[in-house]
Amino acid sequence: MKAMVLAAGLGTRLRPLTDNRPKALVEVAGHTLLEITLARLRAFDVHEVIVNVHHFADMVVEYLKAHRNFGMQIEISREDILLDTGGGLKKVAWFFASDEPFILHNVDVISTVDLRRMLESHVKNKALATLAVQDRSTSRYLLFDEDGRLCGRRIVKEDKTEIVRTSRRMDALAFSGIHVISPRLCSMMTEEGAFSIVGSYLNLAGRGENIMAFRSDEYYWRDLGKPENVKVAADDVAHGTIQLF
């Protein structure tokens, strides 16, 4: 099984931790976010990974080289201009040439989400993409119908709701930055340049494609996009709330 790790962002919310390093090399309990993410993927039999880089890109390349790619086959996708999640994935579509689903994983989240169960759900539902979601507070919600199909989104700060598929009932859930994707998605994204993959999901859901929810409320999850969140995660490791490896 293959995966892509999204690690190209500037990490502006993580400053000052990212003043002299990329967010992928910020540490939790002595381990970098990239190492933690790769270890999680490796635990689910993922051995081929592509990592996109931009901010302090050479540091990531040298780090992986120094650690012998953590025993994995790792490719690097350099982005001279940030392409966002959708553009970043579309750029590396060649890496996912087979029909086998793959994982797309943000480098700045830490979780115990069962990727194997996600994959099984993805295959069972014949989904184009399956998104790990939770019932928790966020500024941006994705809306799903009673069968778990993506119907729209709600942006709280802008008081904006976008509906692409009608349903009598919709659950507003928070996306966790972990996806299982069928490779055919890459050729179906009509957007060019830099764009968010969530926008593509909404467009495709509106055309009848199955973009499915994987409820992951039972699992530990934390966004590591802010210094205070990194500290909380380190405390969780120290107290045994989560094990990194």
pLDDT in tens, 203-228: 999 999 999 999 999 999 999 999 99
Question: For the chain, what is the domain count?
Answer: 1
As a whole number, mean pLDDT of residues 48-61 equals: 96
In a domain, 47, yes or no: yes
Q: Return the CATH number at 125.
A: 3.90.550.10
The set of residues, in sequence order, having a beta carbon less than 8 Å from that of 138 and lying 6+ positions away, is: 156, 174, 175
Helix residue ranges, H only, 17-56: 33-43
In a domain, 243, yes or no: no
As a whole number, mean pLDDT of residues 161-173 equals: 95
- CB count within 10 Å of CB 54 equals 19
pLDDT at 229 over 90: yes
User: Under DSSP, is residue 212 helix (H, G, I), strand (E, B) or coil?
Assistant: strand
- pTM (two decimals): 0.95
Instruction: Report strand pairing: 171-181 vs 129-134.
Output: antiparallel
pLDDT digits (tens, 9 = 90+) for 98-146: 899 999 999 999 999 999 999 999 999 999 999 999 999 999 999 999 9
In a domain, 244, yes or no: no
Rounded to 5 degrees, φ, ψ at 44 are -105, 30
Range of the domain at 231: 2-238
To the nearest 10°, report the CA torsion of 89, 95, 98, 99.
-20
11 — pLDDT class (breaks 50, 70, 90): confident
**Amino acid type, 185:** L
The set of residues, in sequence order, having a beta carbon less than 8 Å from that of 82 and lying 6+ positions away, is: 8, 9, 10, 54, 194
In a domain, 62, yes or no: yes
Give the pLDDT confidence score for residue 245 in this predicted structure: 86
In a domain, 245, yes or no: no
In a domain, 216, yes or no: yes
Question: Which of 80, 73, 87 is closest to 1 using CA atoms?
Answer: 73
